[in-house]
Amino acid sequence: MMTRPPLSRRTFLRGLGVTMGLPLLECMLPRGYAASGSFDPPLRLGWVYFPNGMVREDWTPTGSGRDFQFNKSNAPLAPVRDHVTLISNLAHDKARPHGDGPGAHAREGATYLTGVQAKKTGGKDIYLGESIDQVIARRIGQQTRLPSLELGVEPNRKEGRCDSGYSCIYMSNISWRSPTQPSGVEISPRRAFDRLFGATGEAAARFRQRAADRLSVLDFVADDASRLNRQLGATDRQKLAEYLESVRAIEKQIAQNKNMPPIDVPPGSRPDQEPDDFVPHTRLMYDLMALAWQTDATRVITFMLANSQTNRAYENLGIRSGHHQLTHSIGQEADIQKIDQFVVAEFARFIGKLSSIAEGPGSLLDHCLVTLGSAMGDGRKHDHHELPVAVAGHAGGAVTGGQHLKLEAETPMSNLFVTTAQLAGVPLQRFGDSSGPLAAILDT
């Protein structure tokens, strides 16, 4: 009896310039996997950044190890408790002045993933350092369609002075390809979607035509999907159908947002303004992150929930004052805490989604490590110690989850980055101001 060889993990659905990755299917697993369990899915890494820190007394958990209790602001993580590790006493020393004077917000955004102190300048002579996501992407990015993906919600500031004389570039980029080159931030869900499933150059015109004709990306790969479907077993056919439906659902969400900039405009003329309602905007970006990892389009993603020193008004919470303004006002802790809790709740929703996507014998979350954090501890104090940090996922079994790690005071945040790189197979020993790997997070 003849048997088919396993389908390659790098199989794509193609058609008219569209290239769609596929989720992990049973037919992609090596023969005998069910008996041996030998398949090892790749590790996906993400960093989600929020500005202005959090109200410390409402964030810090009580207890340590597995015997801990959530506090008010991180309570939304309770439904995904077993998948989350809270880490206390991490610090970003290079976000402190060290003689440079005011500018805590610019420094905390710049330092978050670099562990390096930004050169204080409002001109073009910016200088920082390569961020950890790009260090890792440089080593493993050639294994995926996109080496990395940098997402955001608020417009990117490419010039000008912000926050006591620092370049605005420091405040709207957490990913840096080199000390002088930020990676930039994609804030349009539609453009991010097209990057995942489209192409550049001549194929870009087909995407503009797709928008004009109101076609789904799935219409372009329908024939290829139909051919593949005939080769699959019942379980894989169901998984493929669910995946394609999730793609169509995201497209529908994008299309329904009337404020979303169109994609059928000439190159370079796309409006910069994004939707006024940042809640569905943020959720779309989270959903695109999950889709990117599910299809192995990229394994490295950063997501800025807002720029440093954002003064967004969270009117969805009944709060009309700006976020940054609240941190400078006396007696506004209750409103700030509501914002903190909302940020965590949206992150928890994302983690729940990752845990619901099957991959191999477990879930996609089993093969992820996603850090939610900031380089500012408490925005009211503009300090950079006792940072609010939550790490979700299990990194292929290396991280247990369901615990609170209470580290020694002033443990460098960069230590976590070193360990993250090592888990991804990058033999990094030092990074930024690190003093070594953060072995405490590992399942030892």
CATH number of the domain that 120 lies in?
A: 3.40.720
**Both tokens assigned to 388:** 């609010």
Backbone angles phi, psi at 111, to 5 degrees: -80, -20
Does 286 fall in a domain? no
Range of the domain at 402: 44-184+296-441
pLDDT attached to residue 299: 96
Does 396 fall in a domain? yes
Does 3 fall in a domain? no
Residue by residue, pLDDT tens for the chain (444 residues) are 334 556 665 566 666 556 666 676 767 666 555 444 555 789 999 999 999 999 999 999 999 999 999 999 999 999 999 999 999 999 999 999 999 999 999 999 999 999 999 999 998 899 999 999 999 999 999 888 889 999 999 988 777 788 888 999 999 999 999 999 999 999 988 888 888 876 544 555 555 555 545 456 666 666 667 777 777 777 777 777 777 776 776 666 666 554 433 333 333 333 334 556 889 999 999 999 998 999 888 999 999 999 998 999 999 999 999 999 999 998 999 999 999 999 999 999 999 999 999 888 899 999 999 999 999 999 999 999 999 999 999 999 999 999 999 999 999 999 999 999 999 999 999 999 999 999 899 875
Does 236 fall in a domain? yes
Looking at the fold, whether 156 and 229 belong to one and the same domain comes out as no
Does 323 fall in a domain? yes
pLDDT attached to residue 158: 72
Number of domains observed in the structure of the chain = 2
pLDDT attached to residue 52: 95
Looking at the fold, whether 354 and 431 belong to one and the same domain comes out as yes
Looking at the fold, whether 251 and 327 belong to one and the same domain comes out as no
Looking at the fold, whether 269 and 160 belong to one and the same domain comes out as no
Looking at the fold, whether 260 and 232 belong to one and the same domain comes out as yes
**Both tokens assigned to 29:** 């697993």
Looking at the fold, whether 132 and 25 belong to one and the same domain comes out as no
Does 135 fall in a domain? yes
Does 59 fall in a domain? yes
For 103-183, list the strands marked E by DSSP.
Answer: 149-152, 161-162, 166-167, 176-178, 181-182
The answer to whether 13 touches 194, Cβ cutoff 8 Å, is: no
Looking at the fold, whether 369 and 421 belong to one and the same domain comes out as yes
Looking at the fold, whether 323 and 377 belong to one and the same domain comes out as yes
Alpha helices, DSSP H, located in 43-162:
56-59, 104-111, 132-140
Looking at the fold, whether 267 and 341 belong to one and the same domain comes out as no
Does 278 fall in a domain? no
pLDDT attached to residue 1: 32
Backbone angles phi, psi at 231, to 5 degrees: -95, -10
pLDDT attached to residue 432: 96
CA separation (Å) from 204 to 95, 187, 271, 290? 41, 18, 17, 24
**Both tokens assigned to 329:** 């006002």
For 122-257, list the strands marked E by DSSP.
Answer: 149-152, 161-162, 166-167, 176-178, 181-182
Looking at the fold, whether 331 and 241 belong to one and the same domain comes out as no
What is the rounded distance in angstroms from the CA atom of residue 228 to the CA atom of residue 148? 28
Looking at the fold, whether 25 and 121 belong to one and the same domain comes out as no
Q: Which long-range contacts (CB under 8 A, 24 or more apart) does 276-285 make?
A: 278/153, 278/312, 279/316, 279/346, 280/253, 281/153, 281/189, 281/257, 282/153, 282/346, 283/346, 283/349, 284/189, 284/250, 284/253, 284/254, 285/151, 285/152, 285/153, 285/189, 285/192
Looking at the fold, whether 229 and 307 belong to one and the same domain comes out as no
